[in-house]
Amino acid sequence: MPWQPGEAVPPTAFDPDVTFFTEEERAFVTAAVDRLIPADDYPSASELGVVDFIDHQLAGAYGRGDIYYMKGPFRDGLPTQGYQAQAPALLYRQAIADIRAGLARNDLADFTELEPEEQDRLLMGLSEGEDELEHTDAKTFFDTLWQNTLEGYFGDPVHGGNRDMEAWKMIGFPGARYDYRPWINHGGNPVKLEPVSVGGRMVP
């Protein structure tokens, strides 16, 4: 059973053609993640490909919940009982539809058209579990969106986010390096190294 040729398992490459979102969903997520991580001297979430990352993830095993327990009955859990929603792709679809329908019902502008402060208020309301959604749990949606945003922003560019490793450059993380022995005795001085990706230095 030990070593056989051709056995190594490389990461699954990002494929921009494998997507899940409708145009409206994509616009919603773009607006939302750019409030979670807005542009300043460093790029915003969408500028680093976070929307592409999430779109691709939701179109695959993660979005389908292949490795999660997805059998019913589904019930609203206690705050200590963890994720009790449908698979992530369906969670996004239900939550975005519910949020947009709620805004329309109250004669408010679409989420993408709201002022940034109003977008922030809405996102904060979701995160506190204050706002109820019709088909799914608001806080679970916020927590999932936030977690996926962090993954896309700070994850390896091989998965479609963190374009040109800009997020790593922003904080000074050198990426997928495997040998820091020359810097063990850094003595509290910053170790400044160009980042590398598991896909190599040149990332599409």
Both tokens of residue 144? 């999932």
Among 13, 18, 22, 68, interactor with other proteins by CB under 8 A: 68
Q: Dihedrals φ, ψ of 75, to 5°?
A: -135, 155
Residues in region 120-179 near other proteins by CB under 8 A: 120, 123-124, 127, 146-147, 150-151, 154-156, 158-159, 167-168, 170-179
Q: Which one, 22 or 84, has the nearer CB to other proteins?
A: 84
Part of the chain binding other proteins (CB under 8 A), chosen from 22-30, 73-81, 92-100, 129-137: 73-81
SS3 of 108-150: CCCHHHCCHHHHHHHHHHHHCCCCCCCCCCHHHHHHHHHHHHH
Part of the chain binding other proteins (CB under 8 A), chosen from 18-26, 81-89, 95-103, 106-114: 81-89
Instruction: Report DSSP state, residue 86.
Output: S
Residues in region 84-103 near other proteins by CB under 8 A: 84
Both tokens of residue 141? 């949606």
Contact characters 101-130, other proteins, x per CB under 8 A: -------------------x--xx--x---
**What 3-state class would DSSP assign to 196?**
strand
